[in-house]
Every structure is written in C-alpha cells, then in structure tokens.
Amino acid sequence: MKNIICTIIFDGAALNRDEKIGGNIQSIKKLNIDGSLKSFISRQAVRHYLFNTLTKAYPDDWKPAKITGQGNVAQFDITQDDIFTSAELDTFGYMFTIENEMSITRKAPVGITKAISIGNYNQDMAFYVNHDLVNRANQQGIDITPNPFQREEHNSLYKLSFTIDTQIFGKDVWIVKNEPRYDNNELTVELAKSHIKIIKNVLKNGDYYEVKDANGVNSKTIGKIKIEKLSKDAYKITYELADDIKKKRIKQILESIKNGLVSHSSGEDNTIVPLFMIAGEVTVPSPIFHSYIDLMDKKIIGINDCLNNSWLVCNNQNNNNLKLFIYCAERLQVEFPKEEIIDDWNVFLNKIGL
C-alpha cells in the first residue's frame, strides 16, 4: 500500500475560536493572505474533531490514550499504551519526555493542514445574551441582569487536506539504554529507572517477539517486536503492527473524513462534511492536491493540475487508470475525465488495498 492523500472543501462557520478581545468579544482565528483576511481552523482543532469522530463511530477500536504528567506538561503515557494498544498513538504520534534523562518522539503518520476559508472574512460580528435563563431566574424572584457578549462570525467554504504516511503508520522505534528482559510471556522495557513498560501476552518467535491480544497460543497476533543491539548502551526496539489492523485503522480514518467529522465550537454543533473530495494514492506523502484545488464561482478548478503530478500512482505503466477518487456535491460543479477517475468510493478503497 502506498501513501494516501485527500483534499476536501466543506461548509463551516467559526469552528475555531481565538483569544477574547476586550474581555467579552470572542474572536476567530484569522490569517492575512495576499491582502485578504481569511478565517482558519488550526491543525490541532481538526485533529481533535477527527479523533472525536473516530471514538464515536468506532468505539471498540478508538479509545483515548492514557495521559501522564511531566512537571506541568501533560503527555501520553507510553508505559501504559503503545501503537498496538492505542490507535490514537499510532495515528497522531506523540512525545514522551523524562526529565533530565531522555525523550521518545514519534512523528504523526497522519498529516493535517490548516483549514483555510475560501471566502474573505468581512468583520462580521453578532451580539448575544441569554435571555431565557435571566427570565426564568426573575420568575423565581432572583434579581439577575443579562451579561451580553459579542462574537466574531464567519460562514464560508473551507479547504482542508490530509496525508497518510503508510510507511510510518503501524510502526514505531524506541532507543533505550538497557536490554529488554523477556520472562514468562512478558517483555520488560526500561525507559528510565522510574519508568518501566511491561508488555504482556508476548511469545518469542526466533529473532522477534509476537504480541497477542490475550493469553493463549491461538489468540490473535496484534503485532511483532524486534530488538537490535546498537552499542553497549543502546538497544533499538521496533514495533510493527499487524497488517490487517493497520489497514482497518486507515480505512476508518478515510471513512470518517469522507462521511463527515463531528465539530463543536462555542456551544454550536457543526459537521465538517465534504462538498468536494479528491483522494489518491501517491509515492511521496505530500498533500499535492492542496495547492492546486480552488473554487471559482462555485466551480472546482485545479483538477488537471492534480492529474499531471508525477507522484500519483497508476495501475499500469501507461500512466492511466489512476488510483484517484473524486466526489462533488450537487451545490458545486467539477469537470474531470471520467475514464481516468474513480467515482465509486468502495471501488477506490479496494483499488488501494483497503
């Protein structure tokens, strides 16, 4: 399986708030692009919306990873979870630091751009006050006055891209000082004297270790671990997730992006649902569609530029039958050579090995 990228255009409204202005004006995140003011949704916010959607859509497979503290910093606890047990750590990466000793960092296999508005922000602002609660309090004899506030508002179409690096997905590498110990179907890894990780349900199989999802020889293998001695004080531990679980997680991510992400901001429920989506398999994990795709008078432009990029994977050596999917809702328009493009989502997933 090669790397997978997709770019979407969706309808959104003030999905990412910024700091307050003047104490009671809730602002939105903004950028100045070529002299025009655009609103945007940060990568961190999109990451939150994607993970929140995955936990709701696939609760058995996606659960929040455990957290620990290092000083005043919250971080994922890799002594309790790893890419085998946590789809979140596998998908979004992590940094685990031990004060004055070491750190283990894993790049996120799923890359996310900012979601930047296509339309300009024209300083729209609305005035709000909760009259309902005040009236109910007054009816109970409680003397309360409204506390009005203002919010910047912007409704626009947004462009957002995702990249899935399949070479990193399902794989993790640690470098530790001491050799891991294997005993009684458990592998003990010492990250530091006060940070010990115990991996259970492990069976030694030649030069690697199989990790099972439960005790017993016939239980399902969820991954394997290889240990390599680099020097006297350095050991390389490589985690490799079982291929079927890896593909399942990637498919769930793509399904969530295509069908829409749950987004909640300032008490409002929204959805990041693609009105347009282009997805493809590429040799280099870079969001190549993002710079090309744009909207002009409700018409998607940039498709031909996307088709001419050499990173796209073809089914044969004649540079046709691209592994490329395009969807466009009725409210937008797009033109593309249908003989070269897949417009059936399930066919596309099958073509890329999912």
Q: Which stretch of DSSP H or E encloses residue 326? A: strand 324-328
pLDDT of residue 133: 79
pLDDT at 170: 97
> 155-164, 219-228, 311-320, 341-350 — which is least confidently predicted?
311-320
Say if residues 249 and 61 touch (Cβ distance below 8 Å).
Answer: yes
Per-residue model confidence (pLDDT) at position 18: 59
Distance CA 330, CA 332 (A): 5
End-to-end CA distance of the chain: 9
pLDDT of residue 157: 94
Given a cut of 80, is residue 352 above it in pLDDT? yes
User: In the chain, which ranges are continuous DSSP H helix?
Assistant: 43-57, 87-92, 131-139, 243-259, 289-292, 303-307, 345-351
Whether 257 shows a pLDDT value over 90: the answer reads: yes
Question: Is residue 241 predicted with pLDDT exceeding 80?
Answer: yes
What was the pLDDT predicted at 294?
95
Residue among 153, 140, 170 at smallest CA distance from 3: 170
pLDDT band at 235 (very low <50, low <70, confident <90, very high): very high
Q: What SS3 class is residue 95?
A: strand
pLDDT higher than threshold 60 for residue 108:
yes
Q: What angle do CA 223, 354, 108 make, to 5 degrees?
A: 60
Per-residue pLDDT, averaged over 181-197, amounts to 90
| Model pLDDT for residues 121-153, shown as the tens digit of each residue | 887 777 777 777 778 888 888 887 777 777 888
Give the range among 118-132, 195-209, 311-325, 335-349 with minimum mean pLDDT: 311-325
Residue 75, CA distances (Å) to 72, 238, 314 in order: 10, 21, 41
Q: Decide if pLDDT at 316 tops 60.
A: no
Do 234 and 177 touch, CB atoms closer than 8 A?
yes
Residues with Cβ within 8 Å of residue 269, at least 6 apart in sequence: 262, 263
pTM of this structure: 0.91
192 pLDDT above the threshold of 70: yes
Is the CB of residue 25 less than 8 Å from the CB of residue 309? no
Beta 73-76 vs 195-199: how paired, if at all? unpaired
Q: What is the pLDDT of residue 189?
A: 93
Q: What is the DSSP pairing of strand 25-28 with strand 149-152? A: parallel
Instruction: Check residues 7 and 15 and name the one with the higher pLDDT.
Output: 7
Higher pLDDT, 294 or 319: 294
Share of the chain above pLDDT 90, in %: 62
pLDDT band at 1 (very low <50, low <70, confident <90, very high): confident
Average pLDDT score, the chain: 89
The residue with tokens 């985690």 is 239
CA quadruple 250, 251, 256, 259: dihedral positive or negative? positive
- Give the Cα separation of 256 and 269 in Å (integer): 17
Can you give the residue ranges of every domain in the chain? 3-115+155-165+243-351
- Of 258, 240, 242, 284, nearest to 349 by C-alpha is 258
How much is the average pLDDT of 259-283?
Answer: 89
pLDDT above 60 (res 10): yes
